[in-house]
Every structure is written in C-alpha cells, then in structure tokens.
Structure 1
C-alpha cells in the first residue's frame, strides 16, 4: 500500500511519515515548495515546517529518496515522487489550485505506475472532494498528539 501525504498532514504532525507501518510513504516533490515557504515563521506551523525538513534531510542522507529510503525497522520506504509532466486534465485551473493540481497529478502518477493500491492523505476538505472526483482513494487524518515538549505549550488560566 502507498500513502501519499499532503503538506497539511506533515505540518500537523512532522512524525506522520512514521505512522504507516510497513507501507510506503510518498511525498510529492511539490509539497517541499509549500513546506519551505513556512520555515521562517515563528508559529507552530513554522516550527513544524523546520522539523519536517530536518527529518526528511536525515533520511535523504541515508540514500536516494527517489528510489526509497527505509523509515525504520518493520517500516516501509519513504519516497519523493513527481509526474514526468503535468498531465492533470482539469477544466478549471486557478493560481490557487496550481499546487493542488501538481499534488493530485503526482497521486495519479503513483496510481498508474505502482502495482500497490494508493491512498491520498490530506486534511483539506476541498482537495478530498477534488480527489474523489478523480477516483483517488483518500483518507482524512487528524490525530491528537501527546505533549512531548512542555516548553511548547501556551500558559493560561483554567
């Protein structure tokens, strides 16, 4: 089974790449453009962006992300994929949807070139609707993460 992760999944949980057991995790090349634009923010999104970049870089140092790098013992591979050319035939495109179209084109490319079933994981409702219209299986994932960094919590009054 292949799981193709959208940007918002990685920004929500930078450890998401390790959550799919023995299955392969695929990150569309275009996701890195989106992650990169948040890295300078001082927000949680910026922190997550930097953490995602560090995790992927440490995996890249172990081998080719195009061919796949083992995520760990009893875990699948992580791969970066992109379609050979933008072949997504959608009647209406806007600047806003350009990156989404590139990500969907990557999912379609993986579906056509892999013998394994492919599931697109995103938290974006509109993107799930568009994926459904293209017969792409998708999953909505929101996990409530355990607190591992008390310093990252906001102080408040209960």
Structure 2
C-alpha cells in the first residue's frame, strides 16, 4: 500500500520518536545496612554487664557520657556498683586486646565460641550541636540522645537504636522520632559462656610456617613435637589443637618457651588400632 508524503513523514517522525526515547528501567534502590547500631544507656550496663555481648552480629556504641556515669557509680557494695565495676572490667579487657584503632571498632568476639560477632565503638570525638533546642544541655540523658541523633544523621541508611531502661528517656527519644528499645534480656550469662573453650583449629598453612627445624620424640607411647613459628606465642598451656585433612593432628600444648612450643599428640580412638574391645569412637 502506498502512503501519501504526509503519512510517510508522520510515520518516520513516530518511529524516530520511539528510537529517541530511552528505555526506562527501575533504579536500584540502596538497601539499608543489614546490621544495626545499638547505643547503650548507662543503666543497661549497670543492669546487666554482659549486655555488651548480647547483640549478636550487631554493633554497640557507647557515648562518653555513658562511660562517665559508669565511672561515677562504681563505688560501693550495692549490686549496681558491682555491675558497674564488672562492666568496666569487660571494657578494659576488650580495649586492651584491640589490634586496630578504637575509632574503627573493636571486635567483640574474643574467641570463636562467643555469640557476639559485632564491634564495639566508643565515642572518640566531641559531638556538639545535635541536642534539640527544647532539651536542657546539662542533662546526661539529653547528651546521649544528641549522640543518637548525630549517628543517625551520619549514616541514614543504617538503623540506629537507643537502648535504655529509663522510661522517661525512651519517651523523650520516641517524641524526637528516634528508634528506642527497652533492655529486657534478664537471663544472665553463665560464667562458662564467657570462658574460652580451650580448643584451637590450626590454620591450613600451619606446617609450612612451623615445620622447619621440627624436633620429635616418643615417650610412654606418645609422640611429641617441638615446633617453632609465629603462632607459638599465641598458644596456651594445655590448649587442645587440631587440624583436619590428609594428615590430621590432635594434640595438647605441653610447653611454651619464647617462639617454641611442645605438642603432645592425643590418642585417636576413632582409629582401628586404638579400639577398645573392637569398639572405636
């Protein structure tokens, strides 16, 4: 079918228009951070010193005013004073083992068995000008609220939550549009939950780094190895170490001296030669 010149121009214009319009695709929305940041009020630590380890994969932030109040309440024989001292001991242990700047966050998991997988952040800079004008500047609670406001503005894609046992503080924070939670986990951790398991898995390159100039001997049916290498200074006496693979190792650390350590191999009762009345583990 033949088209008139005007119809041909109209068709060409429509086709050109279709080609010039870019295809619209939905923009990828930035997702919020999967982990949360919990800002702890002092009363949470004085209620449960182990609250530092309760937030699993999430991070914990302590304002400077929280540390000040903790220090002011550590004297005496009351339960609050004892909890304040215990919280301070936990913090001292965490900070003293930090291997990176405090501003970058300190891993809370001291051992692989710990449930806490987040980081501890301490306020290392002055945070001023974030307290709402209708709140008195001299109150500690308001300073902590100001820190929460600052952290939320600094990282709007991350959920920042204030955790406090103070009802009035939670009311004020909610009125300002902040996310607030009460601390309701009253189950006290058992001492064993905070203790090291005593078991260490050796890295895959252990023998490459510690097999040079190795000494071995047998005594009373046990095999001993004197090893040298960088990991020796981190081993603990009576620590159980193991390595799976083609040449598995099960041993106990018997001696530590400078950069050397003595390992005593354990009897593997899963092996047929160590069976007891034909029964293996």
State the 1:92 CA deviation.
4.3
How many residue pairs are counted as aligned between the two chains?
147
User: Do the aligned partners of residues 117 and 137 (structure 1) sit closer, same or farther apart at CA in structure 2, a change above 3 Å counting?
Assistant: same
Equivalent-residue separation in structure 2 for 1:105 and 1:4 (angstroms) = 11
- Mapping of residues 28-107 of structure 1, within 5 Å: 28-63=63-98, 64-72=101-109, 73=112, 75-81=117-123, 83-93=126-136, 95=138, 98-107=139-148
Kept in 2: contact 1:39–1:47 (CA 8 A): yes
State the 1:143 CA deviation.
2.5
State the 1:62 CA deviation.
2.2
State the 1:117 CA deviation.
0.8
SS in structure 1 of the partner of residue 86 of structure 2: helix
Hey, what does 2:58 align to over in structure 1?
Answer: 23
Hey, what does 1:108 align to over in structure 2?
Answer: 149
Kept in 1: contact 2:37–2:59 (CA 8 A): yes
SS in structure 2 of the partner of residue 130 of structure 1: helix
CA RMSD, Structure 1 to Structure 2 (Å): 1.9
Q: Please say if 1:130 is aligned against 2:165.
A: no
Greater Cα radius of gyration, structure 1 or 2? 2
State the 1:148 CA deviation.
4.9
User: Do the aligned partners of residues 146 and 25 (structure 1) sit closer, same or farther apart at CA in structure 2, a change above 3 Å counting?
Assistant: closer
Give 5+ residue unaligned stretches, structure 2.
1-35, 192-281
Please identify which structure carries the higher helix content.
1
State the 1:23 CA deviation.
0.6
Kept in 1: contact 2:108–2:118 (CA 8 A): yes
Equivalent-residue separation in structure 2 for 1:147 and 1:71 (angstroms) = 15
Hey, what does 1:4 align to over in structure 2?
Answer: 39
Kept in 2: contact 1:68–1:77 (CA 8 A): yes
TM-score by structure 2 length? 0.49
Kept in 1: contact 2:44–2:183 (CA 8 A): yes
Hey, what does 1:152 align to over in structure 2?
Answer: none
State the 1:17 CA deviation.
0.9
Hey, what does 2:160 align to over in structure 1?
Answer: 118
TM-score by structure 1 length? 0.84
Equivalent-residue separation in structure 2 for 1:147 and 1:21 (angstroms) = 14
State the 1:66 CA deviation.
2.4
State the 1:134 CA deviation.
1.1
Kept in 2: contact 1:83–1:106 (CA 8 A): no
